[in-house]
Structure 1
Amino acid sequence: MLMHAGQVPLEVLLLRAEGVLDPLFRTRDLRLAGLTRRQIIAAVDTGSLLRTRVGVYLPATASTEVKCAAMVGGRLACVSVLARMGVFVHSKDAVHVHVPRSASRLRNSPRRVRLHWATLRREPHPQSARVEVIDALIQATNCQPPRAAVATLDSALYLRLIDDSDLDEIFAHVTARRRVLRRHVNGRAESGPETLVRLIARALGFDVHVQAEIDGVGRVDLVLDGWLVIECDSEAHHSGWIAQKRDRRRDLALAARGYSTLRPIAEDIMYHPEVVVAALRGVAAAGRRRPS
């Protein structure tokens, strides 16, 4: 294929990296795709390719996090990878980057970068700018607070990115103090905040049922002690008057059946858990009886 200077056959590059999310290209990949040295230089000059370090390039469409990881000299890792896959993570403030132990020299990393050095369990695709999901989950289990780590694993299970055998592998390679979290993982939770409330409620001594079906109402997030329904609300799924009317009518239907409803918002669950703890302690002190 003949090309003018600066013209990059991205369709050829992406075809060579088929199935790879967040691909990166080394000089040899570009040469195999048919680019000459002059064309590579022109492509960088015109912005068609991004040169992150010597011999390593990214598509112009690469995300800011992937660019950061490549510039540091590693691959996107931990919660940064999981968030891009739609997995719940508690915080995305820093860019998490895995760097090989053999790396002899790193570029200056910005303050918002967190480095991971542990040996990977799965070898990433040679043209991938991210670690594999198993390694990202091992890193996230060690890196996050315990409840958030369980919520992340719940989310990965719910999305069917991993199965029980993968969980066994993950917990075989996390730190010893995090292995006790294995018994708290439950892939039925539909959201991270739901997992967080479940863990809080169980720590307070509640008997918790996840994704319970109630006749005449449907499925609810959590039922505590057989009478208190918890619905974990987020702006994405509960904003707007139509959604609010639906939620309030569900609450009325639950009340008619003897249930009480508590709707903590995701923001409080994640960043103000003491508010949720106080609410649950308050209703527990009320000593409500199980509905007939």
Structure 2
Amino acid sequence: MDITRTPSGPDAPLPWLGRPTSEDTDRGVFRKSRLVAAWGEAQVESLVRAGVLRRVRHGWYADATAHPAVERAVRLGGQLSCLSALRVHGVWAMGTALHIARRRQPREVRQGLVVHPVHTLAWATALAPVREALAQVVRHHDPETALMSCESAVNLGMIGAEEVQTMLARAQQWKQPILQRFDPLAEAGSETRLRLFFRGRGAPVRAQVQLTPLIRSDLLVGCSWVIEADSRQHHGSPADRMRDLERDLTLIRLGYSVTRLSYDQIFHTWDETQQVLSGIVRTRQHRRPPKPVDMVGELPLFPASRPG
């Protein structure tokens, strides 16, 4: 795109500014030096007067596409970082607090704000890149939270598994027993939490196991216990619900036991959920091979399980 062309109205986004990587680490909030380098100071001031750009704080401007969390972080004197940055990038991340990196803590404690002090403000962008945000999570948070985000980022193809393993190996020693359980196959934080739970209780568990040509489980515990972690995004509609029930019935016919857990059960009532799962683990029934249910005729193929 020709960076000499400028937007014509306050709702028009700014043209590309020669970002060094494919990650969008601006999200509509720009350091003034980059804008001046692209257009010159007079043109930047003209865009401010026209309402295309607005001042966020000294040396920083935003346009109509500015991400609210990124703009707020800059307004507070920092860069959106850690878990908050990962959420903006689309990586699975725990919590809802606003995480920012800045030189020192603010004078007043703000509810819902987490500040990670840094020695210098050397960044050129308002949003921490994925790699830096992951490193911050590994450094500042518990190992379970770190694994949730690291495994999600790998699954999304935003970082390689080997690079993540190197990052995890450099973390504090007390975190290593959990971090060494890194599994690049996990697709979401809910799967990570459940996998860590079962491994912590000595139950063999594997992620993303292809049980039939058409059915892949989130987790397979032992030989025959299928665990499905239902997200709000992909299991909320009536059609999704029907597909899940048909899928479960097929697995039961094949001799598997199926436990389907909601997002709330995994994160909001986790203590109660752990008690129930622990009781089932103690029965050791998951160690028995699946025994198909006797029935006359072929296994029915439900509409939701058919190819295409």
Q: TM-score range by the shorter chain?
A: 0.7 to 0.9
Q: Tell me the equivalent position of 2:199.
A: 202
Q: Is the 1:152–1:192 contact (alpha carbons within 8 Å) kept by the matching residues of 2? A: yes
Q: Is the 1:72–1:109 contact (alpha carbons within 8 Å) kept by the matching residues of 2? A: no
Shift of 1:196: 0.7
Aligned to 1:235, the other structure's residue is in SS state coil
Q: Tell me the equivalent position of 1:49.
A: 53
Distance in 1 of aligned mates of 2:277 and 2:98? 35
Q: Tell me the equivalent position of 2:69.
A: 65
Change in 2 beyond 3 A, CA 1:95/1:246: same
Q: Tell me the equivalent position of 2:237.
A: 240
**1:193-214 Cα deviation digits (max 9, x unpaired):** 0111111111122111211121
Shift of 1:110: 4.0
CA RMSD in angstroms, aligned pairs only: 3.1
Q: Is the 1:193–1:232 contact (alpha carbons within 8 Å) kept by the matching residues of 2? A: yes
Q: Tell me the equivalent position of 1:266.
A: 263
For 2:203, give the aligned amino acid.
F
Change in 2 beyond 3 A, CA 1:56/1:204: same
Distance in 2 of aligned mates of 1:131 and 1:177? 26
Q: Is the 1:142–1:178 contact (alpha carbons within 8 Å) kept by the matching residues of 2? A: no
**1:15-67 Cα deviation digits (max 9, x unpaired):** 34474624243444333443555x64564455421212222212232111111
Distance in 2 of aligned mates of 1:3 and 1:149? 41
Q: Tell me the equivalent position of 1:88.
A: 92
Aligned to 1:15, the other structure's residue is in SS state coil
Q: Tell me the equivalent position of 1:113.
A: 113
Q: Tell me the equivalent position of 1:183.
A: 180
Q: Which moved more, 1:111-120 or 1:81-90?
A: 111-120
**1:82-111 Cα deviation digits (max 9, x unpaired):** 11111111112x2111124xx7x9686743
Distance in 1 of aligned mates of 2:109 and 2:38? 31
Identify the match of residue 102 of structure 2 among 99, 111, 118: 99
The alignment covers a number of residue pairs equal to: 282
Percent identity over the alignment is 28
Shift of 1:143: 3.2
**TM alignment of 1:3-152, pairs within 5 A:** 11-12=14-15, 14-17=16-19, 19=22, 21-23=24-26, 24-34=29-39, 36-37=41-42, 40-41=44-45, 43-44=47-48, 47-92=51-96, 94-100=97-103, 110-118=110-118, 124=123, 126=124, 128-152=125-149
Distance in 1 of aligned mates of 2:23 and 2:89? 13
For 1:66, give the aligned amino acid.
V
Change in 2 beyond 3 A, CA 1:152/1:9: closer
Q: Is the 2:6–2:14 contact (alpha carbons within 8 Å) kept by the matching residues of 1? A: no
Unaligned runs of 5+ in 1: none
**1:111-170 Cα deviation digits (max 9, x unpaired):** 3321112469xx75x2x1122222211211233333222111111111122223322442
Larger helix proportion of the pair: 1
What TM-score do you get using the length of structure 2 for normalisation? 0.79
Change in 2 beyond 3 A, CA 1:35/1:208: same
Q: Tell me the equivalent position of 1:230.
A: 227
Q: Is the 1:229–1:261 contact (alpha carbons within 8 Å) kept by the matching residues of 2? A: yes
